[in-house]
Structure 1
Amino acid sequence: MQLLSSPAIEEDAVKRFRAIMARERTGELALIQTEAQAPLRWFREVYPDLDTERATRLGIACAEQAQLTSFGPLSVPLVSACTVAEVVNLLTYLPLITKAVTTQFHPQQDDLTIRLSGNAGDPDLDCLVITYCGLALIRLIDLLVGEASEVTMHSRWPKPTLLPREAESVSRLVFDAPFSYLHMPATTLAAACRFPDPITYGLAVTQLQEALARRAGTPEFTRRVQALLDDGCGARTIQSVADEFSMSASTLKRRLAAEGTSFRELLQESLLGRASMQLLDPARSVSEVATELGYSDLTNFSHAFKRWTGSSPSHFRRVHQQP
């Protein structure tokens, strides 16, 4: 609704958006009052020829115009956060304002990588929302800290032939990455925000936790196992995870099967995500990555990674590592 009155969207496109809303028997005021999500398919309808180049430019333009402290239930904790790390923690509750983007946290020794995945089922729309969300977050952090941060966004899509010259965020955007992610140094995560209010932040986060539990799309037990696998060191076994929940391995298998997944699937997804992120860190050797993920033998890790991605860890690093 903010974007319809901004330069990010041209006048003809605004008219088409409003025509769609009239057809859907809704309007700007109704969407704002109910905090409803405008379907991404509206963008495909308004921009039938949308491709990744135009989607990138549109995502940049929208991020430049977004009013960054008016994101529904996240507004209060965003403004009252004490550090950038607390701001970043609020991405856990992103599903409360949009289901279009999913985040995965990959902490490393001196920094944090946040992987951004689109859920539109349309690569062009995924490009639009990921570019928008990543750059909007960078702008928000700069606003709350009071100066330009060292956060960068890496996009898995190619660099457009034309980029908006007036957009300050373009200098923080790196293209042709293996996947889309935000990179945050430890110094930025520790940076103090300008309007800290720890009591308000704590109360707001408690409310967000309750709201997320009510809306969670992923079954609760699966989500808890995923979080344990992503946060743990090394390669977890099904028995070690079952011990964390004070249950037998067979009970854990049954609980996951009832929710439509398996321990093997969750473990492979976690290992692949962590391996891919760590291989982008030039300070780590491939052997160190293998050891950290729980592989005692580099050959076994290489075989597993090639099975997951189709390329060896060394080849993946040569192709995707930024200079």
Structure 2
Amino acid sequence: MTAFLRAATLTNFEQVARECGLDAHALVDEVGLSPRCLNEPDLRLPATSVGELLELAARRANEPGFGLRMAASRRLSNLGPLGLLLRDQPTLRHALETSVTYMHTHAEAFSVSLVESGDLVIIREELLLEGGGPTPQAIEMGMCSLFRMLQIFLGERWEPRLVAFRHPAPANTQVHRRMFGSHIAFGQEFNDIVCNAKDLAAPNLGADPVMAQYSQRLLEREMGVNAKMSERVRRLIVLLLPRGHCKVEVVAQHLGVDRRTIANHLAAEGTTFKTLVNSMRSELLVSYRQNGSKNLSEVALLLGFSELSAFSRWHKNLFNATASEGQKSLT
């Protein structure tokens, strides 16, 4: 299933490319994107192509902080209608919860969730791309965009308790530390921004509730027209799998419908809940294997299996090979 992003996700791409001595238009053409993507923010782009573009640019420029540099000066307005809605939320918590609900209207490939842990809140990002190839630039760009939203509410000097990335550390982390501060870790289980729960109560004195209602109606109308049930379910699957709660009943509860409604909609779109779960697990498995930092037991838990034996049976049935054999094929 192809996920799309608004071309606004490429804001500042041309500028950063130029600063690195690159021809932005040539790079865009090389990955098969239209040159219009550099000046038409509402153009829909395949997320895999955007990921390829960012990795290509970072590699050619020898700049591991390429995606971060793109997002460093982002404003809420770069999120289009979603940015208008976030701007008028009464508190930071409301803004984050709104991001969780509506992020896919701006970037279908990104999912955001909030995890409460005592006096801490974890803002978790997932990137859903076909093929599961390594895309640290896109992930870091998305994380930096979330971080910028936090700073807009909390002030430029605010720093999180921790910023964690699933991918390994690049050779040079200078841009990362300049952006996020000293509390940063790589090779972690998730892409997380950890902050104090009390920070989320920060009031937004400029919030306009009337405009918030108007912006929300615009987004909900867009969701009703464009969002397929399979896309909505897939976004929830990636968030629920690591928690072991990825059941159709739980997904239905999140969507405010019953399981039969989900089944009927998915059937009309030519798929099933089980098919979507298997597809998402397969994509994540490729990413974890390419990362190489997790053993099979850890991967099994992250894919929603309570026991390694259940993961092994799933792997055997789907790929006609044991999980160990699949791991060895990459070495």
Q: Provide TM-score, normalisation by structure 1.
A: 0.63
Corresponding residue number in structure 2 for 1:93: 102
Q: Secondary structure at the match of 1:116?
A: strand
Q: Secondary structure at the match of 2:102?
A: helix
Indicate the RMSD between aligned Cα atoms, in angstroms: 4.9
Q: Residue 135 of structure 1: which of 133, 144, 156 is its match?
A: 144
Q: Secondary structure at the match of 2:83?
A: helix
The answer to whether the aligner puts 1:83 opposite 2:91 as a matched pair is yes
Corresponding residue number in structure 1 for 2:3: none
The answer to whether the aligner puts 1:168 opposite 2:179 as a matched pair is yes
Corresponding residue number in structure 2 for 1:114: 124
Tell me how far 1:216 sits from its aligned partner: 1.0
Matched-pair contact (CA < 8 Å) for 1:3–1:9: no
115-124 or 140-149, which deviates more: 115-124
2-side partners of 1:2 and 1:68: how far apart? 14
Corresponding residue number in structure 1 for 2:323: none
Are residues 263 and 309 of structure 1, via their aligned partners in 2, closer, same or farther at CA, if it must alter by over 3 Å? closer
2-side partners of 1:42 and 1:257: how far apart? 30
CA displacement, residues 13-44 of structure 1 (integer Å, 9 cap, x when unaligned): 33524766999463744x14xx2145553664
Aligned length: 275
2-side partners of 1:226 and 1:185: how far apart? 27
* Counterparts of residues 168-317 of structure 1 (less than 5 Å): 168-219=179-230, 222=233, 245=257, 256-259=266-269, 260-262=271-273, 301-302=306-307
2-side partners of 1:50 and 1:193: how far apart? 36
Matched-pair contact (CA < 8 Å) for 2:17–2:24: no
* Structure 1 segments unaligned to the other structure (5+ residues): 274-289, 294-299, 311-323
CA displacement, residues 212-242 of structure 1 (integer Å, 9 cap, x when unaligned): 2211144388579969x89x99787869969
Q: Residue 26 of structure 1: which of 36, 60, 65 is its match?
A: 36
2-side partners of 1:225 and 1:26: how far apart? 31
* Counterpart amino acid of residue 71 in structure 1: L
The answer to whether the aligner puts 1:155 opposite 2:185 as a matched pair is no
1-side partners of 2:248 and 2:26: how far apart? 53
Matched-pair contact (CA < 8 Å) for 1:156–1:175: yes
* Counterparts of residues 47-86 of structure 1 (less than 5 Å): 48=56, 56-86=64-94
Percent same amino acid among aligned pairs? Answer: 15
Tell me how far 1:255 sits from its aligned partner: 5.5
Matched-pair contact (CA < 8 Å) for 2:74–2:145: yes
Q: Secondary structure at the match of 1:26?
A: helix
* Counterpart amino acid of residue 74 in structure 1: L
Are residues 118 and 185 of structure 1, via their aligned partners in 2, closer, same or farther at CA, if it must alter by over 3 Å? farther
Are residues 216 and 4 of structure 1, via their aligned partners in 2, closer, same or farther at CA, if it must alter by over 3 Å? same
Matched-pair contact (CA < 8 Å) for 2:165–2:185: yes
Q: Secondary structure at the match of 2:36?
A: coil
Q: Secondary structure at the match of 1:167?
A: helix
* Structure 2 segments unaligned to the other structure (5+ residues): 1-10, 285-300, 316-331
Tell me how far 1:211 sits from its aligned partner: 1.0
Matched-pair contact (CA < 8 Å) for 2:97–2:114: no
Corresponding residue number in structure 2 for 1:36: 43
Matched-pair contact (CA < 8 Å) for 1:159–1:176: yes
Are residues 56 and 224 of structure 1, via their aligned partners in 2, closer, same or farther at CA, if it must alter by over 3 Å? closer
Please identify the structure whose Cα radius of gyration is greater: 1
Corresponding residue number in structure 1 for 2:111: 103
Tell me how far 1:163 sits from its aligned partner: 2.1
Corresponding residue number in structure 1 for 2:22: 12
Q: Provide TM-score, normalisation by structure 2.
A: 0.62
1-side partners of 2:85 and 2:264: how far apart? 38
* Counterpart amino acid of residue 198 in structure 2: T
2-side partners of 1:105 and 1:185: how far apart? 16
* Counterpart amino acid of residue 36 in structure 1: L
Are residues 8 and 157 of structure 1, via their aligned partners in 2, closer, same or farther at CA, if it must alter by over 3 Å? farther
